[in-house]
Amino acid sequence: MHFAQYYLDCLSQASYLIGDKTTGRAVLVDPRRDIDDYLHDAEAAGLRIELVIETHIHADFLSGHLELARATGATIAFGEAAETGFPIRRLRDGERLSLGADDDQGVTLTVLATPGHTLESICLVLREHPDDDVPFGVLTGDTLFVGDVGRPDLLSAAGHTPQDMAARLHRSLHTKLLALPDATRVFPAHGAGSACGRSLSSETSSTIGDQRRFNYALQPMPVDDFIRLVTAGQPATPGYFAHDAALNRDGHPLLEPGPPPALTLDEALAAREQGAVLLDCRPLAAYTRAHLTGSLHTSLDTRFAEYAGSVVTPGTPIVLLTDPGTEQEARLRLARIGYDHVLGHLPDPAAVLDRSPALSSRSRRIRYEELGLREPQLAGAAGADGARTGGTEPADPIPTDSLPTDFLPTDSPPTDSVPADIQLIDVRNPAEYEAGALPGARNLPLAGLSHRIAELDPSRPVVLYCRSGNRSVIAAALLEARGFTDVCDVIGGYDAVGTGAQ
Protein backbone atom coordinates (compact mmCIF):
# COMPACT_ATOMS: atom_id res chain seq x y z
CA MET A 1 0.00 0.00 0.00
CA HIS A 2 1.05 3.55 -0.73
CA PHE A 3 -0.22 5.98 1.89
CA ALA A 4 0.68 9.67 2.08
CA GLN A 5 -0.75 12.50 4.15
CA TYR A 6 -0.40 16.06 2.84
CA TYR A 7 -0.79 18.58 5.62
CA LEU A 8 -1.19 22.27 4.78
CA ASP A 9 -0.27 24.25 7.88
CA CYS A 10 -1.70 27.58 6.75
CA LEU A 11 -5.20 26.06 6.52
CA SER A 12 -4.69 23.21 9.01
CA GLN A 13 -5.94 20.91 6.25
CA ALA A 14 -5.02 17.32 5.42
CA SER A 15 -5.46 15.34 2.22
CA TYR A 16 -4.50 11.76 1.44
CA LEU A 17 -3.12 9.76 -1.49
CA ILE A 18 -3.82 6.04 -1.18
CA GLY A 19 -2.73 3.47 -3.73
CA ASP A 20 -2.19 -0.22 -4.35
CA LYS A 21 1.39 -0.73 -5.52
CA THR A 22 0.51 -4.02 -7.20
CA THR A 23 -2.12 -2.60 -9.53
CA GLY A 24 -1.08 1.06 -9.57
CA ARG A 25 -4.65 2.15 -8.80
CA ALA A 26 -5.09 5.08 -6.43
CA VAL A 27 -7.61 7.41 -4.83
CA LEU A 28 -7.13 10.92 -3.51
CA VAL A 29 -9.17 12.12 -0.53
CA ASP A 30 -10.04 15.75 0.31
CA PRO A 31 -7.53 17.38 -2.09
CA ARG A 32 -6.66 21.05 -2.06
CA ARG A 33 -6.94 23.07 -5.23
CA ASP A 34 -3.24 23.20 -6.22
CA ILE A 35 -2.66 19.63 -7.27
CA ASP A 36 0.92 19.49 -8.59
CA ASP A 37 2.31 17.70 -5.51
CA TYR A 38 -0.27 14.94 -5.83
CA LEU A 39 0.38 14.44 -9.54
CA HIS A 40 4.15 14.40 -9.07
CA ASP A 41 4.03 11.90 -6.22
CA ALA A 42 1.54 9.65 -7.95
CA GLU A 43 3.70 9.53 -11.07
CA ALA A 44 6.83 8.85 -9.03
CA ALA A 45 5.08 5.96 -7.26
CA GLY A 46 3.66 4.54 -10.47
CA LEU A 47 0.07 5.26 -9.43
CA ARG A 48 -3.00 6.27 -11.46
CA ILE A 49 -5.51 8.43 -9.61
CA GLU A 50 -8.86 6.89 -10.58
CA LEU A 51 -11.13 8.35 -7.92
CA VAL A 52 -11.26 11.63 -6.02
CA ILE A 53 -13.26 11.27 -2.81
CA GLU A 54 -14.60 14.16 -0.75
CA THR A 55 -15.53 13.25 2.81
CA HIS A 56 -18.07 16.11 2.70
CA ILE A 57 -18.73 19.44 1.02
CA HIS A 58 -15.98 21.56 2.53
CA ALA A 59 -16.59 25.12 3.69
CA ASP A 60 -13.12 26.19 4.83
CA PHE A 61 -11.21 25.73 1.58
CA LEU A 62 -11.86 25.27 -2.11
CA SER A 63 -11.33 21.63 -2.95
CA GLY A 64 -9.37 20.34 -5.93
CA HIS A 65 -11.77 17.67 -7.16
CA LEU A 66 -12.52 19.52 -10.41
CA GLU A 67 -8.84 20.23 -11.09
CA LEU A 68 -7.93 16.57 -10.51
CA ALA A 69 -10.78 15.28 -12.63
CA ARG A 70 -9.58 17.51 -15.46
CA ALA A 71 -5.92 16.52 -15.07
CA THR A 72 -6.35 12.76 -14.57
CA GLY A 73 -9.81 11.80 -15.81
CA ALA A 74 -10.65 10.59 -12.31
CA THR A 75 -14.24 10.24 -11.16
CA ILE A 76 -15.42 12.53 -8.34
CA ALA A 77 -17.17 10.81 -5.44
CA PHE A 78 -19.16 12.05 -2.44
CA GLY A 79 -21.37 10.50 0.18
CA GLU A 80 -24.78 9.39 -1.02
CA ALA A 81 -26.58 12.40 0.48
CA ALA A 82 -24.51 14.96 -1.44
CA GLU A 83 -26.23 17.27 -3.92
CA THR A 84 -23.83 18.81 -6.43
CA GLY A 85 -23.91 20.80 -9.63
CA PHE A 86 -21.64 18.35 -11.50
CA PRO A 87 -21.65 14.58 -12.07
CA ILE A 88 -20.49 12.49 -9.11
CA ARG A 89 -20.36 8.90 -7.99
CA ARG A 90 -22.47 8.44 -4.87
CA LEU A 91 -20.87 6.28 -2.21
CA ARG A 92 -23.26 4.17 -0.13
CA ASP A 93 -22.89 3.33 3.53
CA GLY A 94 -20.97 0.06 3.78
CA GLU A 95 -19.77 0.15 0.17
CA ARG A 96 -16.31 -1.37 -0.40
CA LEU A 97 -13.87 0.21 -2.83
CA SER A 98 -11.13 -2.15 -3.93
CA LEU A 99 -7.89 -0.94 -5.47
CA GLY A 100 -6.73 -4.51 -6.10
CA ALA A 101 -7.09 -6.63 -9.22
CA ASP A 102 -10.41 -7.88 -7.84
CA ASP A 103 -12.57 -7.41 -4.74
CA ASP A 104 -10.88 -10.22 -2.83
CA GLN A 105 -7.41 -8.74 -2.79
CA GLY A 106 -5.51 -5.50 -2.54
CA VAL A 107 -6.05 -2.25 -0.72
CA THR A 108 -9.68 -1.70 0.26
CA LEU A 109 -11.66 1.30 1.52
CA THR A 110 -15.03 0.85 3.24
CA VAL A 111 -17.45 3.76 3.27
CA LEU A 112 -19.14 4.79 6.53
CA ALA A 113 -21.99 7.29 6.32
CA THR A 114 -21.36 9.63 9.28
CA PRO A 115 -23.74 12.61 9.17
CA GLY A 116 -23.39 15.26 11.85
CA HIS A 117 -20.87 17.84 10.70
CA THR A 118 -22.78 17.86 7.40
CA LEU A 119 -25.53 15.60 6.10
CA GLU A 120 -23.37 13.98 3.43
CA SER A 121 -20.29 13.38 5.63
CA ILE A 122 -18.53 10.04 5.23
CA CYS A 123 -15.50 8.33 6.74
CA LEU A 124 -13.31 5.79 4.96
CA VAL A 125 -11.97 2.68 6.70
CA LEU A 126 -8.69 1.66 5.08
CA ARG A 127 -7.37 -1.90 4.99
CA GLU A 128 -4.19 -3.06 3.31
CA HIS A 129 -5.87 -6.45 2.74
CA PRO A 130 -9.65 -6.95 2.61
CA ASP A 131 -9.68 -9.52 5.44
CA ASP A 132 -7.52 -7.59 7.94
CA ASP A 133 -9.19 -7.72 11.36
CA VAL A 134 -7.66 -4.39 12.41
CA PRO A 135 -7.87 -1.70 9.75
CA PHE A 136 -4.76 0.27 8.84
CA GLY A 137 -6.71 3.41 9.66
CA VAL A 138 -9.81 5.48 9.15
CA LEU A 139 -10.00 8.79 7.31
CA THR A 140 -12.46 10.68 9.47
CA GLY A 141 -12.94 13.90 7.50
CA ASP A 142 -14.58 16.50 9.73
CA THR A 143 -16.50 13.94 11.79
CA LEU A 144 -13.69 13.15 14.25
CA PHE A 145 -10.55 15.17 14.87
CA VAL A 146 -7.63 14.47 17.16
CA GLY A 147 -8.94 15.91 20.42
CA ASP A 148 -12.29 17.12 19.09
CA VAL A 149 -15.26 16.39 16.84
CA GLY A 150 -16.70 18.31 13.91
CA ARG A 151 -18.80 21.34 14.67
CA PRO A 152 -22.52 20.69 14.08
CA ASP A 153 -23.67 24.27 13.51
CA LEU A 154 -22.62 25.07 9.93
CA LEU A 155 -25.94 23.95 8.45
CA SER A 156 -28.11 26.06 10.75
CA ALA A 157 -28.88 28.47 7.92
CA ALA A 158 -30.05 25.56 5.73
CA GLY A 159 -32.89 24.54 8.02
CA HIS A 160 -31.03 22.09 10.25
CA THR A 161 -30.53 23.11 13.85
CA PRO A 162 -27.15 22.58 15.54
CA GLN A 163 -28.93 20.37 18.08
CA ASP A 164 -30.32 18.10 15.35
CA MET A 165 -26.93 17.83 13.65
CA ALA A 166 -25.22 17.21 17.00
CA ALA A 167 -27.58 14.29 17.69
CA ARG A 168 -26.71 12.83 14.27
CA LEU A 169 -23.02 13.35 15.02
CA HIS A 170 -23.34 11.47 18.31
CA ARG A 171 -24.90 8.49 16.53
CA SER A 172 -22.20 8.50 13.86
CA LEU A 173 -19.40 8.61 16.38
CA HIS A 174 -20.75 5.91 18.66
CA THR A 175 -22.29 3.48 16.17
CA LYS A 176 -19.67 3.78 13.43
CA LEU A 177 -16.28 5.12 14.50
CA LEU A 178 -16.11 3.90 18.10
CA ALA A 179 -17.11 0.44 16.86
CA LEU A 180 -13.69 0.16 15.20
CA PRO A 181 -10.79 -1.58 17.02
CA ASP A 182 -8.78 0.65 19.34
CA ALA A 183 -5.61 0.14 17.30
CA THR A 184 -7.21 1.69 14.21
CA ARG A 185 -5.31 4.84 13.31
CA VAL A 186 -7.27 8.07 12.93
CA PHE A 187 -6.46 10.43 10.08
CA PRO A 188 -8.62 13.59 10.19
CA ALA A 189 -9.12 16.34 7.63
CA HIS A 190 -7.99 19.16 9.96
CA GLY A 191 -5.76 20.03 12.90
CA ALA A 192 -5.16 22.84 15.37
CA GLY A 193 -6.19 26.30 14.19
CA SER A 194 -9.06 25.15 11.99
CA ALA A 195 -12.42 26.83 12.51
CA CYS A 196 -14.13 23.47 11.85
CA GLY A 197 -13.92 22.66 15.57
CA ARG A 198 -12.95 24.30 18.83
CA SER A 199 -10.23 22.16 20.47
CA LEU A 200 -8.32 20.44 17.70
CA SER A 201 -4.91 19.01 18.54
CA SER A 202 -1.74 19.91 16.68
CA GLU A 203 -1.22 16.17 16.17
CA THR A 204 -2.21 15.06 12.68
CA SER A 205 -3.03 11.44 13.53
CA SER A 206 -4.04 9.31 16.50
CA THR A 207 -5.85 6.04 17.21
CA ILE A 208 -9.44 5.17 18.00
CA GLY A 209 -8.29 3.94 21.41
CA ASP A 210 -6.55 7.18 22.32
CA GLN A 211 -9.52 9.24 21.18
CA ARG A 212 -11.88 7.01 23.15
CA ARG A 213 -9.81 7.73 26.26
CA PHE A 214 -8.75 11.34 25.84
CA ASN A 215 -11.12 13.15 23.48
CA TYR A 216 -13.45 15.30 25.64
CA ALA A 217 -16.40 14.76 23.30
CA LEU A 218 -16.14 10.95 23.35
CA GLN A 219 -16.33 10.52 27.10
CA PRO A 220 -19.37 8.64 28.46
CA MET A 221 -22.27 11.06 28.85
CA PRO A 222 -25.98 11.32 28.05
CA VAL A 223 -26.80 12.39 24.51
CA ASP A 224 -28.30 15.67 25.71
CA ASP A 225 -25.06 16.51 27.52
CA PHE A 226 -23.09 15.77 24.35
CA ILE A 227 -25.37 18.05 22.35
CA ARG A 228 -24.93 20.89 24.83
CA LEU A 229 -21.18 20.35 24.91
CA VAL A 230 -20.50 20.41 21.17
CA THR A 231 -22.91 23.23 20.32
CA ALA A 232 -21.33 25.64 22.83
CA GLY A 233 -18.22 27.75 22.42
CA GLN A 234 -17.58 27.09 18.73
CA PRO A 235 -15.35 29.64 16.99
CA ALA A 236 -16.97 32.36 14.93
CA THR A 237 -17.53 31.25 11.34
CA PRO A 238 -15.30 33.09 8.84
CA GLY A 239 -17.29 35.02 6.29
CA TYR A 240 -16.04 33.02 3.31
CA PHE A 241 -17.31 29.64 4.54
CA ALA A 242 -20.72 29.87 2.86
CA HIS A 243 -19.05 31.05 -0.35
CA ASP A 244 -16.65 28.10 -0.44
CA ALA A 245 -19.34 25.57 0.43
CA ALA A 246 -21.41 26.83 -2.51
CA LEU A 247 -18.46 26.63 -4.91
CA ASN A 248 -17.53 23.13 -3.73
CA ARG A 249 -21.16 22.05 -4.17
CA ASP A 250 -22.04 23.80 -7.42
CA GLY A 251 -18.69 23.94 -9.22
CA HIS A 252 -16.04 26.59 -9.76
CA PRO A 253 -13.52 27.73 -12.39
CA LEU A 254 -10.29 25.75 -12.52
CA LEU A 255 -7.22 27.19 -10.83
CA GLU A 256 -5.19 29.47 -13.09
CA PRO A 257 -1.45 29.20 -12.43
CA GLY A 258 1.05 32.03 -12.54
CA PRO A 259 1.90 35.21 -10.63
CA PRO A 260 -0.37 38.27 -10.62
CA PRO A 261 0.65 41.17 -12.87
CA ALA A 262 2.58 44.11 -11.45
CA LEU A 263 0.66 47.38 -11.07
CA THR A 264 1.80 50.94 -10.60
CA LEU A 265 0.64 52.95 -7.60
CA ASP A 266 -1.72 54.93 -9.83
CA GLU A 267 -3.21 51.71 -11.21
CA ALA A 268 -3.67 50.29 -7.70
CA LEU A 269 -5.40 53.45 -6.46
CA ALA A 270 -7.59 53.57 -9.57
CA ALA A 271 -8.61 49.95 -8.94
CA ARG A 272 -9.63 50.89 -5.41
CA GLU A 273 -11.75 53.72 -6.78
CA GLN A 274 -13.53 51.08 -8.89
CA GLY A 275 -14.29 48.88 -5.86
CA ALA A 276 -11.15 46.83 -5.34
CA VAL A 277 -9.54 46.40 -1.93
CA LEU A 278 -5.85 46.89 -1.24
CA LEU A 279 -4.66 43.91 0.81
CA ASP A 280 -1.33 44.45 2.56
CA CYS A 281 0.28 41.02 3.01
CA ARG A 282 3.52 42.15 4.67
CA PRO A 283 4.52 41.17 8.22
CA LEU A 284 2.65 42.89 11.03
CA ALA A 285 5.61 45.05 12.12
CA ALA A 286 6.09 46.45 8.61
CA TYR A 287 2.38 47.16 8.22
CA THR A 288 1.99 48.93 11.55
CA ARG A 289 5.02 51.15 10.90
CA ALA A 290 3.66 52.39 7.55
CA HIS A 291 0.90 51.35 5.15
CA LEU A 292 -1.25 52.84 2.44
CA THR A 293 -4.12 54.60 4.16
CA GLY A 294 -7.31 52.53 3.91
CA SER A 295 -5.59 49.25 3.04
CA LEU A 296 -6.62 45.99 4.68
CA HIS A 297 -4.06 43.74 6.32
CA THR A 298 -3.32 40.10 6.95
CA SER A 299 0.21 38.79 6.91
CA LEU A 300 1.53 35.82 4.99
CA ASP A 301 3.14 34.57 8.21
CA THR A 302 -0.30 34.10 9.83
CA ARG A 303 -3.44 32.22 8.82
CA PHE A 304 -3.43 34.47 5.79
CA ALA A 305 -6.25 33.07 3.69
CA GLU A 306 -8.63 32.52 6.61
CA TYR A 307 -8.15 36.06 7.90
CA ALA A 308 -8.43 37.52 4.40
CA GLY A 309 -11.67 35.62 3.97
CA SER A 310 -12.91 37.18 7.20
CA VAL A 311 -12.38 40.80 6.12
CA VAL A 312 -12.72 40.70 2.32
CA THR A 313 -16.17 40.01 0.89
CA PRO A 314 -16.14 37.08 -1.60
CA GLY A 315 -15.97 38.27 -5.19
CA THR A 316 -14.29 41.58 -4.34
CA PRO A 317 -11.38 42.49 -6.67
CA ILE A 318 -8.07 42.47 -4.79
CA VAL A 319 -4.79 44.30 -5.27
CA LEU A 320 -1.96 42.69 -3.31
CA LEU A 321 0.67 44.73 -1.47
CA THR A 322 3.46 42.23 -0.95
CA ASP A 323 7.14 42.09 -0.20
CA PRO A 324 9.13 41.35 -3.38
CA GLY A 325 8.93 37.71 -4.39
CA THR A 326 5.86 36.79 -2.30
CA GLU A 327 3.09 37.84 -4.66
CA GLN A 328 2.63 34.37 -6.16
CA GLU A 329 2.34 32.77 -2.71
CA ALA A 330 -0.28 35.34 -1.73
CA ARG A 331 -2.29 34.72 -4.89
CA LEU A 332 -2.14 30.94 -4.46
CA ARG A 333 -3.20 31.05 -0.82
CA LEU A 334 -6.17 33.24 -1.72
CA ALA A 335 -7.05 30.85 -4.54
CA ARG A 336 -7.17 28.00 -2.02
CA ILE A 337 -10.28 29.65 -0.52
CA GLY A 338 -11.76 30.60 -3.90
CA TYR A 339 -10.61 34.24 -3.97
CA ASP A 340 -9.55 34.31 -7.60
CA HIS A 341 -10.25 37.95 -8.47
CA VAL A 342 -6.69 39.23 -7.92
CA LEU A 343 -6.11 42.17 -10.25
CA GLY A 344 -2.39 42.39 -9.60
CA HIS A 345 0.21 43.36 -7.05
CA LEU A 346 2.06 46.53 -6.08
CA PRO A 347 5.77 45.68 -6.11
CA ASP A 348 7.84 46.73 -3.09
CA PRO A 349 5.21 48.63 -1.07
CA ALA A 350 7.85 49.87 1.39
CA ALA A 351 9.65 51.76 -1.37
CA VAL A 352 6.33 53.13 -2.65
CA LEU A 353 5.47 54.40 0.82
CA ASP A 354 8.86 56.09 1.16
CA ARG A 355 8.19 57.97 -2.08
CA SER A 356 4.58 58.85 -1.19
CA PRO A 357 4.43 59.78 2.51
CA ALA A 358 1.18 61.71 2.04
CA LEU A 359 -0.56 58.40 1.25
CA SER A 360 0.92 56.62 4.25
CA SER A 361 -0.47 55.97 7.73
CA ARG A 362 0.98 54.48 10.89
CA SER A 363 -1.08 52.13 13.04
CA ARG A 364 -2.18 53.54 16.38
CA ARG A 365 -1.23 51.09 19.10
CA ILE A 366 -1.20 51.29 22.89
CA ARG A 367 0.11 49.20 25.74
CA TYR A 368 -2.29 47.58 28.13
CA GLU A 369 -1.15 49.78 31.01
CA GLU A 370 -2.32 52.86 29.14
CA LEU A 371 -5.91 51.69 29.30
CA GLY A 372 -5.84 52.53 33.01
CA LEU A 373 -7.62 49.29 33.93
CA ARG A 374 -7.05 47.09 36.92
CA GLU A 375 -5.68 43.72 35.92
CA PRO A 376 -8.57 41.24 35.53
CA GLN A 377 -8.44 37.80 37.09
CA LEU A 378 -6.87 35.77 34.31
CA ALA A 379 -9.08 32.80 33.59
CA GLY A 380 -7.22 31.70 30.51
CA ALA A 381 -5.67 32.91 27.31
CA ALA A 382 -6.51 30.27 24.77
CA GLY A 383 -6.25 31.60 21.28
CA ALA A 384 -5.28 31.11 17.69
CA ASP A 385 -2.86 33.92 16.90
CA GLY A 386 0.24 33.02 18.89
CA ALA A 387 3.62 31.81 17.66
CA ARG A 388 2.36 29.30 15.07
CA THR A 389 0.10 31.91 13.50
CA GLY A 390 2.45 34.84 13.50
CA GLY A 391 1.19 36.75 16.54
CA THR A 392 4.38 38.79 17.00
CA GLU A 393 4.75 42.48 17.80
CA PRO A 394 7.04 45.18 16.42
CA ALA A 395 10.17 45.64 18.48
CA ASP A 396 10.39 49.38 17.98
CA PRO A 397 8.77 51.62 20.64
CA ILE A 398 5.49 53.33 19.84
CA PRO A 399 5.96 57.13 19.90
CA THR A 400 3.62 58.94 22.29
CA ASP A 401 2.33 61.22 19.59
CA SER A 402 0.86 58.21 17.75
CA LEU A 403 -1.45 57.36 20.66
CA PRO A 404 -5.04 58.60 20.96
CA THR A 405 -5.25 61.62 23.26
CA ASP A 406 -7.60 59.74 25.57
CA PHE A 407 -4.86 57.22 26.36
CA LEU A 408 -1.86 59.38 27.06
CA PRO A 409 -0.18 58.28 30.31
CA THR A 410 -1.75 59.77 33.43
CA ASP A 411 -1.31 59.46 37.17
CA SER A 412 -4.90 58.35 37.70
CA PRO A 413 -5.36 55.13 39.71
CA PRO A 414 -6.50 51.99 37.84
CA THR A 415 -10.25 51.57 37.33
CA ASP A 416 -12.62 48.70 36.58
CA SER A 417 -13.74 50.01 33.20
CA VAL A 418 -12.67 52.30 30.38
CA PRO A 419 -14.32 55.73 29.98
CA ALA A 420 -17.95 55.53 28.86
CA ASP A 421 -17.27 56.95 25.40
CA ILE A 422 -14.63 54.29 24.59
CA GLN A 423 -15.71 51.19 22.68
CA LEU A 424 -13.48 48.35 23.96
CA ILE A 425 -13.80 45.40 21.59
CA ASP A 426 -12.46 41.87 22.06
CA VAL A 427 -12.04 40.28 18.61
CA ARG A 428 -11.16 36.80 19.88
CA ASN A 429 -13.44 33.80 19.52
CA PRO A 430 -16.32 33.36 22.01
CA ALA A 431 -14.61 30.59 24.00
CA GLU A 432 -11.52 32.77 24.48
CA TYR A 433 -13.67 35.69 25.60
CA GLU A 434 -15.62 33.55 28.04
CA ALA A 435 -12.39 32.22 29.55
CA GLY A 436 -11.33 35.75 30.53
CA ALA A 437 -11.70 39.26 29.13
CA LEU A 438 -10.84 42.87 29.91
CA PRO A 439 -13.41 44.72 32.06
CA GLY A 440 -16.13 46.33 29.96
CA ALA A 441 -15.10 44.65 26.70
CA ARG A 442 -17.64 43.51 24.10
CA ASN A 443 -16.98 40.40 22.06
CA LEU A 444 -17.10 40.94 18.28
CA PRO A 445 -14.98 38.11 16.82
CA LEU A 446 -12.81 39.00 13.85
CA ALA A 447 -14.44 36.30 11.70
CA GLY A 448 -17.80 38.09 11.84
CA LEU A 449 -16.71 41.68 12.39
CA SER A 450 -17.27 42.85 8.82
CA HIS A 451 -20.97 41.95 9.15
CA ARG A 452 -21.34 43.63 12.54
CA ILE A 453 -19.61 46.95 12.00
CA ALA A 454 -22.98 48.69 12.18
CA GLU A 455 -23.01 47.80 15.91
CA LEU A 456 -20.13 50.24 16.43
CA ASP A 457 -20.34 54.03 16.52
CA PRO A 458 -17.77 55.56 14.13
CA SER A 459 -17.93 58.87 16.03
CA ARG A 460 -16.54 57.28 19.22
CA PRO A 461 -13.02 55.91 19.84
CA VAL A 462 -12.55 52.17 19.36
CA VAL A 463 -9.92 50.10 21.19
CA LEU A 464 -9.40 46.54 19.94
CA TYR A 465 -7.57 43.59 21.42
CA CYS A 466 -7.12 39.88 20.75
CA ARG A 467 -4.76 37.39 22.36
CA SER A 468 -1.36 38.53 21.15
CA GLY A 469 -1.97 41.55 18.93
CA ASN A 470 -2.35 39.98 15.49
CA ARG A 471 -6.10 39.76 14.92
CA SER A 472 -6.58 43.18 16.52
CA VAL A 473 -4.37 44.83 13.89
CA ILE A 474 -6.38 43.10 11.14
CA ALA A 475 -9.59 44.35 12.76
CA ALA A 476 -8.23 47.89 13.12
CA ALA A 477 -7.34 47.97 9.44
CA LEU A 478 -10.86 46.85 8.56
CA LEU A 479 -12.48 49.58 10.65
CA GLU A 480 -10.19 52.26 9.25
CA ALA A 481 -10.99 51.11 5.70
CA ARG A 482 -14.69 51.48 6.57
CA GLY A 483 -14.22 55.09 7.65
CA PHE A 484 -13.50 54.87 11.40
CA THR A 485 -11.00 57.58 12.29
CA ASP A 486 -10.23 56.94 15.98
CA VAL A 487 -9.07 53.32 16.22
CA CYS A 488 -6.21 51.70 18.08
CA ASP A 489 -5.31 48.24 19.33
CA VAL A 490 -3.54 46.84 22.38
CA ILE A 491 0.02 45.65 21.79
CA GLY A 492 0.43 42.08 22.96
CA GLY A 493 -3.31 41.70 23.47
CA TYR A 494 -4.70 39.73 26.38
CA ASP A 495 -1.36 37.98 26.83
CA ALA A 496 0.10 41.34 27.87
CA VAL A 497 -2.22 41.70 30.87
CA GLY A 498 -0.12 41.60 34.01
CA THR A 499 3.14 41.23 32.10
CA GLY A 500 3.24 44.24 29.78
CA ALA A 501 4.19 44.22 26.11
CA GLN A 502 7.81 44.84 25.29
Q: Is 123 a catalytic residue?
A: no
- Tell me the CA distances in angstroms from 129 to 49, 101, 102, one per residue in order: 19, 12, 12
Report helix, strand or coil for 443: strand
Choice among 123, 281, 466, 488 that is catalytic: 466
Sign of the torsion angle spanned by Cα atoms 388, 390, 396, 399: negative
C-alpha 203: how far from its chain's center? 17
- Tell me the CA distances in angstroms from 196 to 160, 335, 350, one per residue in order: 17, 19, 36
The CA distance from 99 to 460, in Å, is 64
Neighbours of 237 (CB within 10 A): 21
Helix-then-strand count for the chain, H and E = 14, 25
Strands 360-361 and 423-426: unpaired
The CA distance from 309 to 272, in Å, is 18
Contacts of 309 (CB under 8 A, 6+ apart): 238, 239, 240, 241, 243, 337, 339
Residues annotated as catalytic (active site), given as ranges: 466
